[in-house]
């Protein structure tokens, strides 16, 4: 039996989606991490990845000015840090220091990556498009680093457990089953 | 230890992503289903949802002409049907008939939804944007139907197991754990 759902909460029905942490730089080169659940690959060649950010967010202005960002994929064991980076504004606090996350230098962009994450897409801003009440930041991926054991034959290792957001402060992860068809 | 990954396979490192089935209509009103892994909410108000489709795909032309589509969220138990709809072209076969999936009428669009799926976003084309080698079809969600027991308080029920794509014909699903922070 089908029932009507609340249109204003539509994105809840598309969850769980992987919660990633995007890092970006302020004008002094200090790193701000923001948790993003709305993101997707959008082109193979060139390799483009989109993230949706509301204009009110501190990171919106930072990415617009610095024209780059890094996408960091984080394990479920660090879910509290994911939630922390999505719950506070970098305008008021230093989220890297307060979360205990640590940074390392990227290779092709100035923005640093988060060491505790297992994969990192270094992106240069390809374009930004206002769509409704969010901005779609389209990044061209110029370099990818990852933990040596995170992927096997370019597929996520069974032992890896990414972090998935369900909505309203609730998270889950994937099963380690793999069904090949 | 971090290592370099293959830029041409970047989307594999963002998987698992939920594999959804998008339905769209040809000029005779016949339904074509296509499996999509690249998709995301992109605006709350208006409620916008994006799917990325390569121009070579049969559905690309159908959505461009009909200016609507339906997003269907499918359980892991039907993973073979997900894979089937992603592996063949509607130019050559009637994928609905051959998959054994069944259709029912949507309420606000002409395109039908797949009954065996647990949630359905009825979308009218808001705009389409060429980004790299894919087209971003942006749909405005005008109606949502779902199985009565699929969501509890607008969050996915623990008993639901959506279908997630890992790449190269391999799929998984989520755990039924829920961590609230």
Measure in Å the smallest separation between the Cα of B110 and chain A Cα atoms. 17
**Look-up: residue for tokens 């204009």?**
A55
Chain A residue closest in CA terms to B144: A5
Interchain contact, A38 vs B38, CB within 8 Å: no
Query: Residue A14 is inside which H or E element, if any?
Result: helix A10-14
Give me the pLDDT at residue A47, please: 98
- Which pairing describes strands B103-104 and B68-73: parallel, antiparallel, or unpaired? unpaired
Q: List average pLDDT for each run of 10 residues in chain A, which is 181 residues long.
A: 97 98 96 98 98 97 98 97 94 95 98 98 98 98 98 95 96 93 91
Average pLDDT over residues B67-71: 98
Give me the pLDDT at residue A105, please: 98
Six-digit token string for A166: 């369900």
* C-alpha dist (Å) from residue A163 to A49, A71, A83, A117, B166: 19, 14, 10, 11, 15
Distance from C-alpha of A149 to C-alpha of A156, rounded to nearest angstrom: 9
Q: How confident is the model at residue B112 (pLDDT cuts 50, 70, 90)?
A: very high
Best of A49, A163, A175, A176 to mutate (most B CBs within 10 Å, chain B): A175
Measure in Å the smallest separation between the Cα of B97 and chain A Cα atoms. 20
- The b-or-e profile of A113-148 (16+ CB within 10 A means b, else e) is bbebbbbbbbbbbbebbebbbbbbbbbbbbbbbbbe
Of residues B16, B38, B121, nearest to A41 (C-beta): B38
* C-alpha dist (Å) from residue B93 to A155, B89, B98, B173, B177: 30, 7, 8, 28, 40
Outline where DSSP puts E strands in chain B.
2-4, 17-18, 20-25, 31-36, 39-43, 48-53, 68-73, 103-104, 113-114, 119-131, 134-147, 151-152, 155-156, 164-167, 170-172, 179-180
Q: How confident is the model at residue B26 (pLDDT cuts 50, 70, 90)?
A: very high
Q: What is the tens place of the pLDDT at every residue in B155-177? A: 999 999 999 999 999 999 999 88
Domain regions of chain B by residue span:
14-172
Give me the pLDDT at residue B47, please: 98
Q: How many residue pairs from chains A and B have C-beta atoms closer than 8 A?
A: 282
Chain B residue closest in CA terms to A2: B147
Distance from C-alpha of B132 to C-alpha of B118, rounded to nearest angstrom: 32
Measure in Å the smallest separation between the Cα of A26 and chain B Cα atoms. 24
Residue A175 — left, alpha, or beta (φ > 0 → left; ψ -120 to 50 → alpha)? beta
Q: What are phi and psi of B48, to 5 degrees?
A: -115, 140
Q: What is the tens place of the pLDDT at every residue in B33-63? A: 999 999 999 999 999 999 999 999 999 999 9
Measured between beta carbons, the chain B residues lying within 8 angstroms of A106 are none
Interchain contact, A5 vs B151, CB within 8 Å: yes
Give me the pLDDT at residue A80, please: 97
The CATH class of A14-172 is mainly beta
Give me the pLDDT at residue A46, please: 98
Measure in Å the smallest separation between the Cα of B177 and chain A Cα atoms. 6
Of residues A10, A166, A180, nearest to B155 (C-beta): A166
Measure in Å the smallest separation between the Cα of B8 and chain A Cα atoms. 7
Measured between beta carbons, the chain A residues lying within 8 angstroms of B132 are 42-48
Other beta carbons within 10 angstroms of residue B60's beta carbon come to 18
Of residues A44, A126, A142, nearest to B133 (C-beta): A44
pTM to 2 decimals? 0.97
Distance from C-alpha of B175 to C-alpha of A86, rounded to nearest angstrom: 22
Give me the pLDDT at residue A164, please: 98
Average pLDDT, chain B: 97
């Amino acid at each position: 039996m089908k029932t009507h759902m609340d249109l204003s909460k539509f994105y809840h029905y598309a969850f769980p989606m992987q919660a990633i942490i995007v890092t970006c730089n302020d004008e002094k080169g200090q790193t701000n991490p923001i948790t993003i659940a709305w993101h997707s690959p959008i082109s193979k060649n060139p390799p483009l990845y989109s993230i949706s950010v509301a204009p009110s967010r501190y990171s919106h202005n930072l990415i617009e000015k610095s024209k780059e960002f890094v996408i960091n994929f984080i394990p479920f064991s660090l879910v509290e840090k994911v939630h922390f980076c999505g719950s506070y504004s970098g305008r008021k606090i230093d989220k890297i220091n307060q979360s205990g996350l640590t940074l390392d230098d990227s290779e092709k962009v100035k923005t640093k990556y988060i060491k505790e994450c297992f994969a990192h897409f270094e992106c240069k801003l390809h374009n930004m498009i206002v769509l409704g009440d969010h901005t779609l930041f389209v990044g061209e991926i110029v370099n990818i680093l990852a933990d040596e054991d995170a992927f096997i034959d370019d597929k996520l290792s069974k032992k890896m457990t990414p972090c998935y957001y369900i909505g309203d402060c609730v998270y889950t992860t994937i099963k380690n089953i793999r069904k090949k068809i």
